[in-house]
Chain A
Amino acid sequence: MVSQSPAPTAEERVWAVLGTISDPEIPAISVVDLGVIGSVEVDDEAIRVELLPTFVGCPAIGVMQQQIGERLASLQIGRVDVEVSFDPPWTSDRITPAGRERLRLSGFAPPRLAPTPVSAGLDELTVLTLAECPYCGSMNTTMENAFGPTLCRAIYHCADCRQPFEQFKRI
Chain B
Amino acid sequence: MTASPPELDLDTREALAELLLSVADDEFVIGFWDSEWTGIAPMLEEDVATSSIAQDEIGHAKALYELLAELTNDDPDRIAYGRDASAFRHAALLNHARGDWAFSVARRYLYETADRTRLAALAESSHKPLALLAGKMRREETYHLLHADAWRRRLAEAPGDTRDRFAAALRRLWPDAQEVFAPLSHEDTLVREGMLPRSMGELHGAWQAEVRPVLEPLTGRLPEATPSVGGRERRTADFEWLHGEFTKVAGAEVGALW
Contacts and interface: CB of A to CB of B under 8 A. Distances in A.
A85 interface: yes
B55 A85 contact: no
B139 A57 contact: no
Contact of B63 (A56, A125, A149, A169): A56
A147 B143 contact: yes
Contacts of B62: 56-57
A135 interface: no
B142 A125 contact: yes
Interface string B54-69: 0111111011000000
Given A86-B133, A128-B143, A57 B45 contact: no
Contacts of B52: 147-148, 151
**Chain B interface main SS type:** helix
B59 A146 contact: no
Given A118-B142, A146-B49, A151-B56, A56 B1 contact: no
Contacts of A146: 49, 143, 146-147
A65 interface: no
A59 B56 CA distance: 10
A87 B51 CA distance: 28
Contacts of B142: 118, 125, 128, 171
B140 A55 contact: yes
A83 B1 contact: yes
A58 B59 CA distance: 7
B137 interface: yes
B192 interface: no
Nearest to A119: B120
A56 B55 contact: no
A11 interface: no
A21 interface: no
A145 B58 contact: no
A91 B55 contact: no
A25 interface: no
B63 A122 contact: no
B135 A86 contact: yes
Nearest to B59: A57
Contact of A148 (B1, B48, B146): B48
A155 to B, nearest CB: 8
A74 to B, nearest CB: 26
Nearest to A50: B2
Interface in B195-211: none
Given A125-B145, A148-B48, A151-B56, A86 B120 contact: no
A116 to B, nearest CB: 9
B138 interface: yes
A87 B138 CA distance: 14
Contacts of A118: 138-139, 142
A57 B128 CA distance: 20
A151 B138 contact: no
A147 B48 contact: yes
Contacts of B139: 89, 91, 118, 171
Interface in A46-103: 55-59, 83-87, 89-91
Contacts of A12: none
A108 to B, nearest CB: 17
Contact of A125 (B45, B137, B146): B146
Given A56-B56, A145-B49, A151-B55, A86 B143 contact: no
B119 to A, nearest CB: 10
Contacts of B48: 145, 147-149
A83 B2 CA distance: 8
B132 interface: yes
A144 interface: yes
B45 A145 contact: yes
Given A57-B58, A151-B55, A122 B49 contact: no
Nearest to B50: A147
Q: Which 7 A-B pairs have the closest CB atoms?
A: A57-B59, A147-B52, A147-B49, A86-B132, A89-B136, A125-B146, A171-B139
